[in-house]
Structure 1
Amino acid sequence: MEILSFDLLPSTQTYLVDALHSGRVKPPCAVIAGEQSAGIGSRDNEWRGGKGNFFASIAISMDQLPSDLPLSSASIYFSYIMKQVLLEYHENIWLKWPNDFYLNDEKVGGTITKKVDQTLVCGIGINLKNEQNGYKALGIDIEPELLLEKYISALKKFPEWKQIFREYQVEFELSRKFSVHIENLKKSLSDATLEEDGSLLIHGMKVYSLR
């Protein structure tokens, strides 16, 4: 997989999406930046930060993804594979539904996905060493470039969704003491039911991650 490396970008995801649209790159490929000045977070928030933290985006053709992967839950899929890689460095990291990396009760990063024609772009930001954006850091000593290589290696195995979901089902219980924003309203996950496609049933309403 081609990896493009930059010292500074406004956003790895924005760069990669623009490069795909213009035809400058083709999937599979990845972009990593040492620093990010205007990264894209969930709910139109920014995810910015300096050296030592992880800012990367990966483009994968849809036909490479597992046939059983619900597109609406791609953020869970990509995030959980990264979480599995990070377990080598910190045993207390887990994935809060649908796309946030947590260390115990503190957010340390997140994932956002975007479909570009027949390509899925996954952007990941994680505070590895330095607290940024008001969030904690994992406090682990790994170079972002090495983490990206390890992640790509794990991702290229393309485990089936049912395998990822089976493991995530157990971890989802940790999300119950938290809330999520749905249509700009904060909803508790305490009574939510995790469906097999990665969606939630909350008070009779079906909610997809769509990130």
Structure 2
Amino acid sequence: MQILEFDSLPSTQIYLATQIKSGHLKPPICVWAKKQSAGIGSRGQVWESVNEALTFSFACVMDTNTPKQSLSLYFGYLFKQTLHALGHQEVWLKWPNDLYVGEAKVGGVMSQIYKDMVICGIGLNICADQHAALAVCAKEALQAFLERIETAPKWAEVFKAYKQDFERTHSGQFFKHESGLISLSTAKMHPDGGLEIAGQVYHALR
């Protein structure tokens, strides 16, 4: 996959989505910014800048076997696997799209769909004074991840592996919903990546 490297961008996600929609760029393509001044976080919030981070977005043709609402979970799990392969076994993926080390968030994933394409952005704190971070080589992690998605497994395989992770790591966790904080201690995962809690099914909207 071709990588377009920038010293700085306001947001790799906005830049790539704009270029894809205008026809100036076509998938597969990745945009990597060494600095990001107005990154987008979960629920449209601003991703706060840190001393050093890996921030990139990529576009590829969507695999129709992967549930649309679980694209961030799918790519987030593949990124987590990449970090594990680089020796960072402590990283885990909190449902549906946050990367954690212990109880601290170190990164996140967001996805959007345009026609038959998925545009996915990933941010990972590498060095930060007031936030958790993971000391990785940005270029090495990016290249290893892009190599992984070129031969990415099917959704069913990722779902099976993530479901086992989820049952091990989420018993004391919560997620933010418009109705407030919801406990994940009794959540059951559906095959499409949704969670059933007390009879209510929740899907990721990121």
Moved over 4 A (4+): none
Q: Tell me by how many angstroms 1:50 deviates.
A: 4.6
Moved more, 187-196 or 24-33: 187-196
What's the TM-score, normalizing by structure 2?
0.94
Separation in structure 2 between the aligned mates of residue 176 and residue 11 of structure 1, nearest angstrom: 34
What's the TM-score, normalizing by structure 1?
0.92
More strand per residue: 2
Separation in structure 2 between the aligned mates of residue 78 and residue 201 of structure 1, nearest angstrom: 22
Q: Tell me by how many angstroms 1:3 deviates.
A: 1.0
Separation in structure 2 between the aligned mates of residue 31 and residue 126 of structure 1, nearest angstrom: 15
Does the 8 A contact of 1:57 with 1:123 survive in 2? yes
Number of residues of Structure 1 aligned to a counterpart in Structure 2: 204
Equivalence for 1:177: 172
Separation in structure 2 between the aligned mates of residue 14 and residue 160 of structure 1, nearest angstrom: 27
Percent identity of paired positions between Structure 1 and Structure 2? 39
Structure 2 unaligned regions, length at least 5: none
1:112-151 CA-partner distances (Å, limit 9, x unpaired): 00111221010000012335xx53001x241x22211110
Separation in structure 2 between the aligned mates of residue 51 and residue 150 of structure 1, nearest angstrom: 23
Separation in structure 2 between the aligned mates of residue 103 and residue 50 of structure 1, nearest angstrom: 17
Does the 8 A contact of 1:107 with 1:136 survive in 2? yes
Equivalence for 1:194: 189
1:126-180 CA-partner distances (Å, limit 9, x unpaired): 012335xx53001x241x2221111000011120111111110111021221111
Taking only aligned residues, the RMSD between alpha carbons, in angstroms, comes to 1.4
Does the 8 A contact of 2:3 with 2:29 survive in 1? yes
Separation in structure 2 between the aligned mates of residue 184 and residue 25 of structure 1, nearest angstrom: 39
Structure 1 unaligned regions, length at least 5: none
Equivalence for 1:206: 201
Does the 8 A contact of 1:36 with 1:48 survive in 2? no
Q: Which residue of the other structure, out of 93, 103, 106, is the alignment partner of 2:104?
A: 106
Q: Which residue of the other structure, out of 81, 84, 91, is the alignment partner of 1:84?
A: 81
Does the 8 A contact of 1:76 with 1:98 survive in 2? yes
Q: Which residue of the other structure, out of 119, 122, 143, is the alignment partner of 2:120?
A: 122
Q: Tell me by how many angstroms 1:47 deviates.
A: 1.1
